């Protein structure tokens, strides 16, 4: 009797200790930069019982470097924004992978109008400097970014040209171009959607560093340690399961069960959810059991998530000049409604063709004959569904219309396009702070990052991803930092 009790006692103590000492098991939903960052940090700290479930058939998420002709292009993230306090810069710069590029401010950016003329150089400079400082607007009150911007623009630019009829007309028509380009930065469909105020904090330094070779994807290799030395790769490959779409996260005080669309299920002590805030918003009612608390739903509601589109085109031969970098397209109001006759294909909005939402073509550094065609605005989800043939013809039509007088523009012959808005695993491109919700002294991103905890306060469901970073949301460095943060939260439990 006695010996059996001792045995039972020892058995309990032994197992209790095992339970305390054992490594927590962790499921990570999503293999974008935040998920990969969380996984690599856990692996480096001996938390090895991890599984990464990724809905797509590739890792990287909104980092998506694709082979294009004899080179690589990025359908998603492309630039490293800033240096100081930027984890991407810290990881990549010492390896000599980054270089300066200048998508907005360069002298070599030219603004053309839909009549085919280069804009007056003084006005062009004015427009470019306005663009470079577009977020430097009055942020007191509850104005939208667009309203706050116009208020400033009308006083600082339009007023300057009140006595110059021609420039005033162009500067007024330029408002559409400015909106299209600003919206491209914000990731919203209109400039009425983002708040004029913002918590985004640019890292000091060069805001437009690009990758010398191989594209943004290399940051994942650096995180996984397969670059620069493939022999040092962390044992991560067998932890990543592709085409595993999670559609249920069921949790209680004992842990979590995660179910996938193929009916497979996984159990763990913790789950880190890294899906975009667009995916959370769309699936908020079905994804979690029990359902998300009110604070979490409020944070999702306060976060904007729409998107832009990139069309990548290649020319069989060069028609631009050596020092040309980018071209911005300024639609004159009267041309806007006329182009439907010249180019009737594809969707329209309020009588205006999708093709007039092409606002810039940007040279891809290190890709001799490749440009990114930037498309923004409310029509983007429709434009994503257009056939490649119509897209290519639309790009060729617009580029000739604007530049055909000054350049012997040829037809681009190869095309690739993004579909972030219509892909159910993303449903947009990058998050922003919505008008009407912005509060200077409150962070909805931090609220989104709060874990769901058990009755002792231990985190069971954790949240990472760009939209959970209080100041660096919308970026890759923000996403990576958020993944490291949540891995750290789990490691703290072992202490």
Ligand X SMILES: *[C@@H]1O[C@H](CO)[C@@H](O)[C@H](O)[C@H]1NC(C)=O
**What does the binding site for ligand FAD look like in residue numbers (CB under 6 A)?**
29-35, 53-56, 61-63, 76-79, 81, 245-246, 274-276, 279, 308, 310, 418, 420, 425-426, 429-430, 465-466, 474-477, 479
> Residue 178 in contact with residue 130, Cβ under 8 Å?
yes
- Provide the 3-class DSSP secondary structure of residue 107: coil
The tokens describing 450, both together, are 């709060």
Q: Does 181 bind ligand X (CB under 6 A)?
A: no
Three-class SS of residue 40? helix
Cα 207 to chain centroid, rounded: 15
Q: What does 55 interact with, of ligand FAD, ligand X, none (CB < 5 to 8 A by kind)?
A: ligand FAD
Show the beta-strand stretches assigned E in 141-221: 209-211
Q: How many angstroms separate the CA atoms of 227 and 418, rounded?
A: 27
Interaction between residue 154 and ligand X (CB under 6 A) = yes
Q: What binding mask, one character per residue, do residues 44-83 give for ligand X by CB under 6 A, x or -?
A: -----x----------------------------------
- Return the residues of window 2-31 that contact ligand X according to CB under 6 A: 25
Please classify residue 163 by burial: count the beta carbons closer than 10 Å to its beta carbon, then call 0-12 exposed, 13-18 middle and 19+ buried. exposed
Q: Is 130 in the site for ligand X (CB under 6 A)?
A: no
For ligand X, the binding residue among 107, 132, 408, 493 (CB under 6 A) is 408
Shortest separation between residue 323's beta carbon and ligand X, angstroms: 14
Residue 150 CB, nearest approach to ligand X (Å): 4
Looking at beta carbons, which residue is closest to ligand FAD? 32
Minimum distance of ligand X from residue 454's CB (angstroms): 15
Rule CB under 6 A: say whether 139 interacts with ligand X: no
Q: How far is the CB of 26 from ligand X (least distance, A)?
A: 9
Residue choice 3, 46, 163, 263 for contact with ligand X (CB under 6 A): 263
User: What's the min distance (Å) between Cβ of 162 and ligand X?
Assistant: 11
Tokens of 443: 């962070």
Q: Does 245 bind ligand X (CB under 6 A)?
A: no
Radius of gyration of the chain (CA): 25
Residue 63 touches which of ligand X, ligand FAD, none (Cβ within 5-8 Å per kind):
ligand FAD
**Using the rule CB under 6 A, is 160 a contact of ligand X?**
no
The answer to whether residue 178 forms part of the interface with ligand X (CB under 6 A) is: no
Q: How many residues bind ligand X (CB under 6 A)?
A: 17
At its nearest, how many Å lie between ligand FAD and the CB of residue 156? Answer: 28
Please state the closest distance from residue 35 (CB atom) to ligand FAD, in A. Answer: 6
Instruction: Report the distance separating Cα 415 and Cα 471, nearest Å.
Output: 35
Q: Out of ligand X, ligand FAD, none, which partner does residue 68 contact, by CB within 5 to 8 A per kind?
A: none
Q: Work out whether strand 431-433 and strand 370-375 pair parallel, antiparallel, or are unpaired.
A: unpaired
Contacts of 401-406 with CB under 8 Å at 24 or more apart are 401/114, 401/116, 401/339, 401/342, 402/112, 402/113, 402/114, 402/116, 402/327, 402/329, 403/112, 403/116, 403/327, 404/116, 405/116, 405/117, 406/112, 406/116, 406/118
The DSSP result for 293-308, as a single string, is PHHHHHHHHHEEE---
Cβ–Cβ under 8 Å, residues 314 and 68: yes
Q: Does 243 bind ligand X (CB under 6 A)?
A: no
Q: Note whether 268 binds ligand X by CB under 6 A.
A: yes
Site residues (CB under 6 A) for ligand X, limited to 460-489: none
Residue recorded with tokens 């949301």? 473
Q: Pick the closer one to ligand X by CB: 198 or 212.
A: 198
Nearer residue to ligand FAD within complex by CB, 241 or 336: 241
Phi, psi of 200, deg, nearest 5: -60, 135
The reply to whether 316 sits near ligand X by the rule CB under 6 A is: no
The CB-of-262 to ligand X minimum distance in angstroms stands at 5
Binding of ligand X by 407 (CB under 6 A): yes
Distance CA 457, CA 443 (A): 21
User: Residue 267 touches which of ligand X, ligand FAD, none (CB < 5 to 8 A by kind)?
Assistant: ligand X
The candidate with the shortest Cα–Cα distance to 490, out of 35, 33, 23, is 23
Distance of closest approach, residue 277 Cβ to ligand FAD, in angstroms: 9
Q: Which two tokens stand for residue 12?
A: 């309990």
Query: For residue 244, what are its two tokens?
Result: 């595993």
**What DSSP letter does each residue of 369-406 carry, written as one string?**
TEEEEEE-STTHHHHTTS-HHHHHHHHHHHHHHHHTTT
What 8-state DSSP symbol labels residue 194? Answer: B
Residue among 434, 430, 387, 395 at smallest CA distance from 412:
395
Residue 433 vs 466, nearer CB to ligand FAD: 466
What is the contact mask toward ligand X in residues 356 to 395, using x (rule: CB under 6 A)?
A: ----------------------------------------
Residue 190 touches ligand X, criterion: CB under 6 A: no
Check residue 291 for interaction with ligand X (CB under 6 A).
no
Q: Tell whether residue 162 is a contact of ligand X (CB under 6 A).
A: no
Binding residues for ligand X (CB under 6 A): 25, 49, 141-142, 147, 150-151, 154, 158, 172, 262-263, 267-269, 407-408
């Amino acid at each position: 009797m006695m010996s059996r009790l001792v045995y039972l006692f020892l058995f309990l103590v032994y197992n209790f200790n095992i339970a305390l000492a054992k490594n927590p098991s962790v499921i990570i939903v999503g293999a974008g930069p935040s998920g990969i960052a969380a996984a690599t940090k856990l692996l480096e700290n001996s938390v090895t019982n991890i599984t990464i479930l990724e809905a797509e058939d590739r890792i990287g998420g909104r980092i998506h470097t694709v082979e294009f002709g004899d080179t690589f292009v990025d359908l998603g993230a492309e630039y490293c924004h800033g240096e100081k306090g930027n984890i991407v810069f810290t990881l990549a710069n010492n390896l000599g992978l980054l270089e300066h590029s200048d998508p907005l401010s360069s002298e070599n950016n030219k603004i053309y109008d839909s009549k085919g003329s280069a804009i007056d150089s003084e006005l062009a400079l004015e427009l470019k400097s306005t663009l470079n400082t577009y977020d430097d607007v009055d942020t007191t009150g509850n104005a939208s970014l667009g309203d706050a911007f116009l208020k400033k623009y009308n006083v600082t630019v339009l007023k300057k040209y009140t006595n110059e009829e021609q420039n005033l007309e162009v500067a007024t028509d330029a408002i559409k171009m400015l909106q299209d380009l600003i919206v491209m930065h914000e990731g919203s469909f209109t400039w009425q959607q983002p708040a004029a105020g913002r918590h985004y904090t640019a890292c000091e330094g060069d805001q437009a560093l690009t990758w010398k070779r191989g594209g943004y994807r290399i940051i994942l290799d650096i995180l996984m340690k397969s670059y620069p030395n493939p022999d040092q790769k962390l044992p991560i490959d067998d932890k990543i399961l592709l085409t595993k779409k999670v559609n249920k996260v069921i949790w209680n005080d004992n842990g979590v069960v995660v179910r996938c669309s193929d009916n497979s299920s996984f159990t763990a002590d913790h789950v880190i959810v890294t899906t975009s805030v667009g995916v959370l918003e769309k699936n908020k009612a079905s994804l979690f059991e029990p359902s998300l608390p009110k604070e979490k739903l409020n944070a999702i509601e306060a976060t904007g998530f729409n998107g832009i589109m990139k069309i990548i085109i290649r020319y069989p031969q060069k028609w631009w000049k050596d020092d040309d970098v980018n071209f911005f397209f300024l639609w004159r109001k009267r041309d806007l409604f006329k182009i439907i006759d010249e180019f009737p294909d594809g969707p329209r909005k309020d009588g205006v063709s999708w093709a007039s939402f092409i606002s810039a073509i940007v040279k891809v550094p290190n890709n001799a004959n490749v440009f990114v065609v930037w498309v923004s605005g409310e029509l983007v989800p429709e434009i994503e569904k257009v056939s490649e043939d119509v897209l290519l013809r639309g790009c060729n039509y617009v580029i000739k219309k604007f530049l055909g007088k000054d350049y012997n523009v040829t037809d681009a012959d190869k095309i690739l396009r993004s579909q972030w808005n219509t892909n159910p695993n993303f449903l947009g491109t990058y998050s922003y702070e919505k008008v009407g919700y912005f509060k200077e002294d409150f962070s909805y991103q931090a609220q989104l990052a709060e874990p769901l905890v058990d009755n002792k306060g231990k985190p069971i469901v954790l949240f990472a991803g760009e939209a959970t970073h209080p100041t660096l949301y919308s970026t890759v460095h923000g996403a990576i930092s958020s993944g490291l943060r949540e891995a750290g939260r789990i490691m703290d439990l072992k202490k």
